[in-house]
Amino acid sequence: MTVGSQVKSCYSSIKSVEAGLSLLASKTQDVETQNKFNEAQKIVTTVKEELKQQVTQLAKQEPQYK
């Protein structure tokens, strides 16, 4: 597995985690728990955005990673 495909796989996984946290936050009744899920989702969203930049950068540097 190439570095590019590993980063893309990680990006896909983090998107799934983000969606899962959003779903959990919407289903919970406890406000404190809901806030914790939303806080975790914000952190995961930041990581996802940074990974997306890495995928783009890899594609520019190494055409075979597209």
Using CA atoms, how far apart are residues 33 and 24, in angstroms rounded to an integer?
A: 9
pTM to 2 decimal places: 0.81
User: Which amino acid belongs to residue 13?
Assistant: S
Secondary structure class of 3 (helix, strand, coil): helix
Q: Where are the domains of the chain?
A: 3-65
Tens of pLDDT, residue by residue over 7-56, are 889 999 999 999 999 999 999 999 999 999 999 999 999 999 999 999 88
End-to-end CA distance of the chain: 13
Exposure class string for 19-29: b at 16+ Cβ within 10 A, else e: eebeebbeeee
- pLDDT for residue 66 is more than 60: no
